[in-house]
Structure 1
């Protein structure tokens, strides 16, 4: 559930939580063929970071709501020095109008929902299934944009159809495994839907607000809502082992800050299409890490379903390249 990245079109730009004060309104980047090797290397590091997220969450001995709260709270703590030390950033935050603050808060609420339903799914179904379903965000975002008057191309609709077919295949596989796995699939899918609302609202805010200012407000609201939910549900927010705290810190650095920040960095040079397509590697990456680290290997029949979902998402991104306009925001990493 999952954090997102800037796009070269302000109407559909995704949202990412960078640890720097860079502005979000980046000019269109050069073609992928002109990208420097450094951008490719940084993108590989970013994908590795977000791919580590789901297996790391599944291996962390803490309640799902607590994990969601701490990763957001730690991200806010990491951004606070930039707010305190940069006068321009403080002025921007204080100068945000009522509509911008409300939209940022609403995005934070959707992000809290995204994390609140996706993280528990990692303990109910396989990491591979959960990651594949939560990264259907571009499909739901395209549908939301359609409601706002945007007309997806035929290729976009085809990609959505293929991805939905993969979802049906995967949920059928997990139903044969256990009802609990199917429930986990449903939570992951809901996380993808909430993530779509998050990136669409964030795109509107980021027309006039920098990424850091927006992220600070959004993640602050997310942390507060998750804190309240965790307290009401009785989830333990402390008393963890040193190993658990270390995993929470690593999760925040690798997925919440490092992964998303580097994606923010390279999208200007590589372009949103190449970056978005590369982010799809999060699903097989997470599945591979889970298999090697957690001994968690999905049934063999699940792999064709995962491939179908990735193929559908790739078609949605290809539609972006052919039409020259985003069919949907680049898929937000599940991290």
Structure 2
């Protein structure tokens, strides 16, 4: 096997493992989920913000120009959507099982497909078939929790809301990243997210400090694994492997999260939840694979407005379906 193939496979494995740690770590921590989300992203901004400010300060300042108000507006809205995703998905892992929460939030491509239709794009029949299978899987996984524990219904609904918010975030990200570099976009978006979620926590009286050592270790794990390692490896591998391959590997997040929860937290998923999660993964995989047929994902050169700051790179044009970039910026 070629060295590049080994490196790519290792990076993809790290991405799946790092993102899969989100739900188990949140369920383990003895702290409000909103506080965990705030600390995770706030510390991420404090870590990466100064570096980006020094290296891409001119680009960040240019986003304040009047002629770039649409990019700035979409970035701010994306930050609010991301805050909504964390504010719904992370509490869902404490109200329902980790397996079900991971399965339902992985329905994000379903909602992204509906957003594509609303925006006037057409999805092929095979893609709709895959989405239908995924919807059926979500219903099966949810039904397993409804029969076991009534309070899990709230967690299920929050996980679905998190998937919808993530789809909105991805749609807005796809529009902005054509002309804004990933580091600059991430810093502005995550700063917006931190401010929005901080306001929610203060208004809601959420406890933000005074946690035990184990909880702070969980916060550090969320910062290190999904926030820094996961996103860094994802950005790295997207320049070396096809978007389809990355999307398929990210579908492993649900099963890996369920395995971690089984070994670490002792959460044994029911047969219906496992079956539903399998259907979700199969349905999304069908949609992603169909979109990757030859001729549907051809790269093109996009002119960068900041050639002195950002090296020229090959970006993908807007596709008739959002799935090649559907999980590019999840956690």
Normalised to the residue count of structure 1, the TM-score between the two structures is: 0.86
- In structure 1, what is the equivalent of residue 36 of structure 2? 67
- In structure 2, what is the equivalent of residue 52 of structure 1? 21
- In structure 1, what is the equivalent of residue 62 of structure 2? 95
Provide the rounded CA distance (Å) in 1 between the counterparts of 2:108 and 2:248.
13
The superposition leaves residues 4-40 of structure 1 with CA deviations (integer Å, 9 ceiling, x where unpaired) of xxxxxxxxxxxxxxxxxxxxxxxxxxxxx99521011
Maintained 8 Å contact 1:107/1:218? yes
The superposition leaves residues 89-120 of structure 1 with CA deviations (integer Å, 9 ceiling, x where unpaired) of 00000001222111110000001111111111
If you compute each CA radius of gyration, which structure gives the higher value, 1 or 2?
Answer: 2
Provide the rounded CA distance (Å) in 2 between the counterparts of 1:199 and 1:252.
21
Report how many aligned residue pairs link the two structures.
Answer: 301
Alignment of 1:51-200 (within 5 A): 51-86=20-55, 89-96=56-63, 97-200=68-171
Tell me the CA shift for residue 53 of structure 1.
Answer: 1.2
Maintained 8 Å contact 2:142/2:273? no
- In structure 1, what is the equivalent of residue 315 of structure 2? none
Tell me the CA shift for residue 334 of structure 1.
Answer: 5.7
Matched, 1:309 2:305: no
State the SS of the aligned residue for 2:94: coil
Provide the rounded CA distance (Å) in 2 between the counterparts of 1:138 and 1:82.
32
- In structure 1, what is the equivalent of residue 312 of structure 2? none
Tell me the CA shift for residue 201 of structure 1.
Answer: 0.4
Provide the rounded CA distance (Å) in 2 between the counterparts of 1:151 and 1:221.
32
- In structure 2, what is the equivalent of residue 9 of structure 1? none
- In structure 1, what is the equivalent of residue 304 of structure 2? none
Provide the rounded CA distance (Å) in 1 between the counterparts of 2:52 and 2:29.
30
Matched, 1:320 2:288: no
- In structure 2, what is the equivalent of residue 4 of structure 1? none
Tell me the CA shift for residue 332 of structure 1.
Answer: 5.1
Tell me the CA shift for residue 320 of structure 1.
Answer: 1.3
Q: 1:209 to 1:334 in 2, by over 3 A?
A: closer
Instruction: Compare relative contact order (CA 8 Å, sep 6+) and give the higher one, 1 or 2.
Output: 1
Q: Deviation above 4 Å: which 4+ runs of structure 1? A: none
Normalised to the residue count of structure 2, the TM-score between the two structures is: 0.87
Provide the rounded CA distance (Å) in 1 between the counterparts of 2:110 and 2:96.
22
Tell me the CA shift for residue 330 of structure 1.
Answer: 2.9
Maintained 8 Å contact 2:37/2:87? yes
Matched, 1:331 2:303: no
Provide the rounded CA distance (Å) in 1 between the counterparts of 2:329 and 2:99.
14
Provide the rounded CA distance (Å) in 1 between the counterparts of 2:219 and 2:29.
8
Provide the rounded CA distance (Å) in 2 between the counterparts of 1:173 and 1:159.
22
State the SS of the aligned residue for 1:237: coil
Maintained 8 Å contact 1:73/1:220? yes
